[in-house]
Every structure is written in structure tokens, then in C-alpha cells.
Amino acid sequence: MSDKTRTGLSRAQMAWRAAQDIPDGAYVNLGIGIPELVADYVPAGREVVYHTENGILGFGPAPEPGQEDPDLINAGKKPVTLLPGAAFFHHADSFAMIRGGHIDYCILGAMQVAANGDIANWSTGAAGAIPAVGGAMDLVAGVRNVLVITEHTTREGEPKLMERCSYPLTAPGVVKRVFTTFGVFDVTASGFLLQEIAPGVPVEQVRAATAAPLAVADSLKEVAAPQPEKAAAHV
Amino acid sequence: MMDKRVPDVPAALADVQDGAMVLIGGFGESGSPIELIHGLIDQGARGLTVVSNNTGNGEVGLAALIKAGRVAKMVCSYPRSSNSKVFPELYRKGEIELELVPQGTLAERIRAGGAGVPAFYTPTGAGTVLAEGKETRDFDGRTYVMERAIRADFALVRAELGDRFGNLTFNKAGRNFGPVMCMAAKTAIAQVRRFVPAGEIDPEHVVTPGIFVGRVVEVPEPAQESALIEQGVSYP
């Protein structure tokens, strides 16, 4: 399915919207998938330093074909380049940056997010699956601002915003904000609060696709959602 | 005279005993000491407990060690990848044990082992299934999980430059687990791309001081795991 036929925001639009929340001077860790696109849309004039768990601060976009280096990769094991001011460090230091609260933002995907900020993004708990957690639990437990970008529902149409997660948790009570195909949701003390809604999507459709009570902000506005051009700094 | 250089890979691995606990560096193929791993297959030690972030790809390197039936237990954070089939098959058949550890906890358990700290408290995993059965404690209103340090018999790592004192530099993000693994093993064995005379590595640029390293072996042109897989290599 192409972005154009999907109701609500495209992947690029979700990434663009999340990028608007990243302030100048932030240290940021981006998860695999849609979150990786966020780097393309950070507004001009803001300098952001990207961290990858396997030991690089200040990496840049993928290299030209033929310039890949197997020792210069990101946590998704994809080739990257270095920007001026980059640094290498070992794994214990890398996770000290995460667990020690030195990384300002992590933006990651999720299987489920609950109204109390619980997140499940590492396992469905299915019998016979090979369990694999990687750095997911360290990131959500350690980074100060945990933001999630996800389709509002699964491919099968099941809600991903839940009253309580049914999958095994990655961490309890850590998510602050969720960007979905249908809008921007803050996780508040009283549950999900719809702050911004995708153009052309009625609130009732959002409510029907959400398996938790949904409050709507008095100041509800439409997501400013251009079909974004990639920023020049990180294409 | 102190000289930690050994002539070849077999000499570096000669005393690895059955049942040994072995730390193996690398994040996927990045920093993976593939010649030392193949040397360990040739050496023949069995019943190993291997601590490594992943479980290898294709049928070379760590995946080949597992396929050869030498590994009784894996301690790792992410035991599958797009091209890993050896470990998943054995695991599903119940022929290999797995201890799943969050990546940062794994790195810190190894670092703690090397630093003489027997256990520590971390927020990672608190309130999840990976904390079940573990001691927890609240500090300043937040729950932390107690994790035990990891100490091992051997560490196998890939580094860039090494001198006779065992001082090491690494190559880019290939550094990953190498420095902490050298700290936590009774005998850390580094394969280096190049031996250099003592003093050639600027003391300001030493990444792993030689005190943490037991043996250094030169492997001038280390194989690249993905290239071997592309060529259809299955080790041995």
C-alpha cells in the first residue's frame, strides 16, 4: 500500500511531525524503521547529534555505494558515515550515556503503548519465538524523553494504543508522546490526550481505532503536515 | 622482558579447556574476531558458555562454532538476525541454552566483572519479564534490578594495533564490546591487524591498556563475515 492511499499521515509525515519536537543541541537515539526517517526532517538551523548503541556519536547518512565500511554501522547494522565532531566509544560507555540520562530523546517504534505510558516493543510473547531484546529495554528505561512513532493500528487493524499492553513490557510508564497515522497523543496522568489530529480524520474514527479512553485537547488542532522535503543536512 | 605476542592463532588458543566461559567481541560482524573463533573450532574445546551480543550469521564465525556443537549456552542480547539460522534451529530443538540479557546490562555486567564489582542495580528491565526471579530494590522512589557481574576464563576480541605490552587500539565501531571483555577475562586474547613496536601507539591514544590483555596475535587481513557468507563459505 502506498502512502497516498492510506488514511491519515504517511510515514514521512509522521517522521516530519516528530522531528519538529527535537530541539537544537539535542542528543538523540533513533530506532529502526520509521524513526530513522526523523533525521531527514529536523528543521534547518537545529543541530542534533545522533547516538547509536554500538558506539558512535555524530554519525551521518548512509555512504555512497562502494564506500561502506563493516566497522562503521548503526544499531540496525546498516552502513553510516561520520560527521565532523564524531566520537567512538565502547559498549559500557555507550549504555552509560543511555542509562545515565545523557541522551535527551529516543524515538522508537512500538507494538503497543498503554494509557499509563507502558510500552511493548520487543516480544509478542508467542511460544516458539526466539526471544531477542537488544538495547530496547535500556533505551526506554534510561532516556529522558521517550517518543513513539507508529501506525495507529496493526496491518490487521488491531489497535496499538491500549488501556494496558497485552504483550510483554519493554518498560512500565515511560512513554511521553506518541505520533501515529491519526495524530499526536500525549500520555498524561489521566491517559491519552489527543493534541493534534491528521487532516480529514474525524475524532470518532480515532476513538474507534484506540483501545483506551481518549481525551481530546481543548486546543485540538490539525497536524501541520506538508508532504515534506528532506532537509539538506541529513539526506 | 614482557612480551604478550604469540606467533599464531593455535598458540593463542592452546589452553582453552572444555566447559570454559568465553567472551567473544563483536556487534554482528563488526569487531568480530573471526580468525580466533575459527581457531577455537580447530582447537576443539567443547561445552563452552559463550557471551556475545549476537549468535552469528551464515555458517562462519560464531555461527560455525555453534553449528560445530561446541557451545552449551549462549549469553546474549539479540540471538537472531536476518541471516542467522544455526542458533534458532538448535534453540528450538532444545539443544542449546539461552540467557537473554538487555544489551546495556550485558555490557555493564562484563564491565563490573572486570572492575571487581560483584553486582549492581539497574533500572533496565524493572517491571518486565526479564526481571522475574531477580532481587529488586527501590532507590529514591524508583525500582531497580540487581544484576550480577560476568567474569570469564577467556575473551576473544578483534583490535587494530597491538604492542608487546598488550596495549590496543580498535577500528571505529568495531570497538564495541572489546575493551570491557578484555577487562573481565582471566586471559584476554586480541587478534590485531598489525603489531607495532612499544611506544608507537601514543599513550594518549591507547584504548585498552595492556594490563587487561593476555595475548596478542597478528592477523593482517581479517576476513569479513558477510563476504565469506556471500562466497558461500561454511567453516570448517
pLDDT < 50 regions, chain A: 1-6, 232-235
The Cα–Cα gap between A175 and B36 comes to: 42
All domains in chain B, ordered by first residue = 5-119+150-230 (3.40.1080.10)
Question: Could you tell me the three cell numbers for B210?
Answer: 595492556
Predicted interface score ipTM higher than 0.85: yes
Residues 134-163 of B with CB under 8 A from A: none
Tell me what pLDDT residue A227 has: 73
Q: Is A53 annotated in the active site?
A: yes
Q: Does any CB of chain A come closer than 8 Å to the CB of residue B58?
A: no
Encode pLDDT of B108-157 as tens digits: 999 999 999 999 999 999 999 999 999 999 999 999 999 999 999 999 99
Tell me what pLDDT residue B82 has: 77
CA B172, B175, B179, B182 dihedral sign is negative
Task: Select the residue from A59, A74, A103, A130 to test the B interface by mutation, using most B Cβ atoms within 10 A.
Answer: A130
| CB-CB under 8 Å, B172 with A88 | yes
Q: Are the CB atoms for B210 and B199 separated by under 8 Å?
A: no
- What is the residue-wise DSSP string for chain B? ----EESSHHHHHTTPPTT-EEEE--BTTBT--HHHHHHHHHH---SEEEE-SS--STBSTHHHHHHTT-EEEEEES----TT--HHHHHHHTT-SEEEE--HHHHHHHHHHHHHT--EEEESTTTTSGGGTTS-EEEETTEEEEEEE---EEEEEEEEEEE-TT--B---GGGGTTHHHHHHHEEEEEEEEEEE--TTSS-GGG-SB-GGG-SEEEE-SS---HHHHHHTT-B--
> Which residues in chain B are closer than 8 Å to A119, comparing Cβ atoms?
none
Encode pLDDT of A17-67 as tens digits: 999 999 999 999 999 889 999 999 999 999 999 999 999 999 999 999 999
| Nearest-Cα residue of chain A relative to residue B112 | A92
Report in angstroms the alpha-carbon separations of A85 from A60, B51, B87, B93, B206. Answer: 11, 32, 39, 48, 20
Question: Could you tell me the three cell numbers for A49?
Answer: 547529534
The Cα–Cα gap between B213 and B78 comes to: 27
Burial B47-57 (b: 16+ CB within 10 A, else e): ebbbbbbbbbb
Average pLDDT in chain A: 93
CA–CA min distance B123, chain A (Å): 6
Q: Give residue limits of the domains in chain A.
A: 3-234
For chain B, 236 residues long, give each residue's pLDDT as a single digit of tens.
Answer: 999 999 999 999 999 999 999 999 999 999 999 999 999 999 999 999 999 999 999 999 999 999 999 999 999 999 987 788 999 999 999 999 999 999 999 999 999 999 999 999 999 999 999 999 999 999 999 999 999 999 999 999 999 999 999 999 999 999 999 999 999 999 999 999 999 999 999 999 999 999 999 999 999 999 999 999 999 999 99
Burial B104-134 (b: 16+ CB within 10 A, else e): bbbbbbbbbbbeeeeebbbbbbbbbebbeee
Tell me what pLDDT residue A235 has: 39
Tell me what pLDDT residue A231 has: 55
The Cα–Cα gap between A38 and B205 comes to: 34
Residues 158-187 of B with CB under 8 A from A: 170-180
| CB-CB under 8 Å, B127 with A171 | yes
Question: Could you tell me the three cell numbers for B107?
Answer: 555490557
Element (H, E) at A175: strand A175-180
Q: Are the CB atoms for A134 and B103 separated by under 8 Å?
A: yes
The closest CB to that of B128, out of A55, A77, A171, belongs to: A171
> Which residues in chain B are closer than 8 Å to A29, comparing Cβ atoms?
none
Q: What is the CATH number of domain A3-234?
A: 3.40.1080.10
Pairing label, strands B142-148, A56-60: unpaired
| CB-CB under 8 Å, A170 with B78 | no
Q: What angle do CA A129, B119, B99 make, to 5 degrees?
A: 15
